[in-house]
Structure formats: C-alpha cells, structure tokens
Amino acid sequence: MRVTIFGATGLLGKALIREWKADEVVGFASKDVDVRDIGQIRRVIEQTRPQWLVNAAAYTDVDGCESNRELAFAVNWRGAVNVAQVAKESGARLLFLSTDYVFDGLSTTPYETARARSPLSIYGKSKAKAEEEIGQLLPDACIVRTSWLFGVGGKCFPDTILRLASSRSEIDVVDDQRGSPTHAPDLARALVALCRASATGIVHATNAGDCTWLEFAREIVRDAGLSTVVRPTTTEKFVRPAPRPKYSVLSSQSLQRYGILMPHWKDALRDYLLERQAAVHSGGNTVL
C-alpha cells in the first residue's frame, strides 16, 4: 500500500512515520507542502500516487487560533478541503485528523460520532467546517477525531507538567475539564489499522479511560517519582484565550467496530515516560 502523509513532522506525524511498517510511506512537513496551495498538493500527489492520503497537517495552537482566525481557517478548513479535493481527483482514499474540540462539552456521557457539532473555539470551528465539507466532497473519507494528544518529541501536557514539577514544589492544574489523554504512538497504530481496514466515516480514537487535567497531572508526577504537590484549580481561575469544552470524552464504539482497541491512558503514560527517559539518555533534546 502506498501512503502519503501531510504534517509528517508534527507529534502525530512523527509517530506515524515510525509506526507504519510494511507499506510504502512518504511523509511531508508543512515547509515541504503548504496545504493552502492546492497546486503544491497536486504536484506531490502526482509524484507519490498514494492509495491512502493521511492529512495530519494543522494549525494546532488552540489559543493562537483565537488571535489568528484567518490563518486557522486557511489551514484547518480550506487547506484540509484542498487535500480532500486532490484526493478525489487522484482516486486516493483520505484519512483526515480532527478533534474533540468540535463539541461544546455540555454532555455528561461520551460523545458518539453522530452527535451534532457545536464548537466553542476558533480551532474547533475551523476543524468542524473541514469535517462538514470533506464529508460532502468525499463521502468515503475517514475522519478521525482524537483528544489530548501527547508524546515524545513535541510540546504536550506531560512534558509541560514534568518541566514545571522539576522546578516547583507546588503547581495548580484545572480539575473541571474531563477528557481522554491519547498517546501519539497508540493513535498512529490505530490509524494504520483503520487504513488497512478501508475505514470510512467518522471514527473516534483515543486511549481508553478518562480523567481531568488534574488527575492526569497527578498521575504524571507520581509515575515520574516526583514530590511536587499538584493542587486543583478551576477554568475560571486559569483564564486562556480559547474556551475549552468542560467534557470531551469520545466514545470508542466506532473504533471497536473495526476490532481496534487502544490501551488505557495510564498504561500509555508509562510508555511515554519510558520513551522520554530513553530520549534523555540517548542525548535527545528532552530533559526532565
């Protein structure tokens, strides 16, 4: 199977390149292919002739999107639709990465794939518009929503907590937002399986289980063997430019229909910490 990945140097993109075995995989960074330029996309697809095109390219700075609305929609909406258009022209199957932020967080039970979109932030709105248009343009596309992505080799919540905990005796973390942490390598393996299963429609893919950011932070600190006290705070006291959904747990039923199960987030966290420590010992840029 020939696979072309856009966004190959992002947190997920790197994991996809590492995890995708036994297929002909080519990855492109944003500096190589600007998804806002459909001509660039066409030239790359003519060269690589993929059977699957995985679009993990996005402007993912959720707070930055609030002050850069035009850029957010240009990349996350129009750029994503450009990729879908070229996939349609070339006959390639498309897998598009989306987010739990397409929901408003008012639910108290895990979101099913058919739940109506109601995004709060510019980031969520840009992704929601992309989902809608891609679904119309390519009905057999696979749109994968995920949440709270973390992994070695990029900015993520565990890395931030470990850096803070290494220099502070106490840190405050919000305890009124609940979701499912997702380890990039686990998600990458699920995406490979979805492509090999010729998946279509919307699929939710996260590690099993859910927690608040506070619970996640405490588990990080405890598993890392640190003594930092992690205290609860509220979203109202920790003001951010972009509103976050209070509840964004995604139901795993759509993923399980393909026979795919992802590990519990606590197990994934332990894998992350081991990988992070290995990167330190090998002279990587990650430091505790």
The answer for residues whose C-beta is within 8 angstroms of residue 92's C-beta and 6 or more apart is 4, 45, 50, 51, 52, 53, 86
Secondary structure (DSSP) of 173-212: EESS-EE--EEHHHHHHHHHHHHHTT--EEEE---BS-EE
As a whole number of angstroms, the distance between CA 216 and CA 126 comes to 27
What amino acid positions are annotated as catalytic residues? 123
In the structure encoding, which two tokens stand for residue 50, read together?
Answer: 């993929």
